[in-house]
Amino acid sequence: MTDQTYFRKGFGLRREIEGDLAADYHSRLVDRIRAGGHVLEVGDLTFRLAQEFGFCYGVDRAVEYAYETRARFPQQRVVLLGEIIHNPHVNEKLESMGVVILRPDPDGGFDFSDLTSDDVVLVPAFGVRVEDFQRLRSIGCPVVDTTCGSVLNVWKRVESYARDGFTAIVHGKHFHEETKATASQVTKYEGGKYLVLRDMAEAELLCRFILGRASIAEMRETFGHKVSSAFAFDRDLNRVGLANQTTMLASESMDIAVKIGEAMAEQFGQDRLAEHFRSFGTICSATQERQDAVLALIEEPLDAMIVIGGYNSSNTNHLAKICARKVTTYHIADAACIDVDRVAIRHKPTVGTAEAEVTGWLDGVRRIGVTAGASTPNNKIGEAIERILASVGLAVPAE
């Protein structure tokens, strides 16, 4: 019997909503730059757009399903669990369409006390924790699941680790919705364990502990809030399997896997490594493509790099960090960060979280690289380019 309250494939309403999607997120200017070899020259300014940028398939699908859900259930309350993606404009647009956003608590959980079987619930592209999904199903409300396929692939890997008695080591941000949902997959198996590590520095501490060169106290201080319940450092790190948040820096994820693999081989012997260590690359292809594209772009002569996307977007932050290694980089949330009259720009530096402002940022700048995170719609890219041009008294020439 088909489950009539769980939906993962949309409702076949693409034609009904495609006009709204185009109006809300399309950019003729971006299409024009693409058609021109990803280059736009206006006056003394040259813009070079990365070969891969903006909405990925998973984000595109999630947004489309959200619009379809609103169209399919026009008379019912539609509740979204957190943000559909990490882009404020998209989430604000859904709210303007009557979608209610249920905000998570500090632990990433949701208060479902107000939900009834008459409500329709949207699961975001990041997915939700196992316990939240189970509670939703017990309520009996229709659930539209937009969880990205790349995220589901990671979940399958983590499940397999837990099933086989391996602790899942997740390279990710422990506070991120996706990582919370991914780590929770171990709870599908009795005794399932996880540990979340943020970066190479934390991976090196983990390796020192594996090799007997760091204490349990040191591990508790760093990882005590990033492990599964009843985690025992001296027991649960003898067999580990690597996975990652899909939007992490791909090169770092690979380096971490190599580092931990080497430590396990040293501790248990190369001939027994397979008994104690598993690794599988779970960076999504779209994240990899966008990172590869900016690596290629910053090899071009550039005076500045603009990275557009939400400040809480993991993949956008990583794009900015990659670019900042080579060229002056400004990570902006959207075009409103560009002050045309004052020729100033507000941006999020790659270190820290506070927004900074730079005046005269276009002095001597002639060649500008542009990219955007996987949650950034094309119209926000086009608007940013137009405001940069306006800052120096230029406009996009007529087609």
Q: Which two tokens stand for residue 384?
A: 């940013």
Q: Give the Cα separation of 251 and 245 in Å (integer).
A: 13
Strand 338-339, strand 344-347: pairing:
antiparallel
Q: Answer for the pair 13, 71: CB distance below 8 angstroms, yes or no.
A: yes
| Residue 252: other Cβ atoms inside 10 A | 18
Q: Answer for the pair 66, 99: CB distance below 8 angstroms, yes or no.
A: yes
Query: Which residue is catalytic, options 68, 83, 177, 178?
Result: 178
Burial class (CB in 10 A: 0-12, 13-18, 19+), 106: exposed
- Is residue 266 annotated as part of the catalytic site, yes or no? no
| Residue 179: other Cβ atoms inside 10 A | 28
Report the candidate in 123, 238, 235 with the shortest Cα–Cα distance to residue 181.
123
Q: Which two tokens stand for residue 88?
A: 């404020």
Is residue 373 classed as helix, strand or coil in its secondary structure?
coil
Is residue 267 classed as helix, strand or coil in its secondary structure?
helix
Q: Across-strand partners of 96?
A: none
Which residues are tagged catalytic? 178
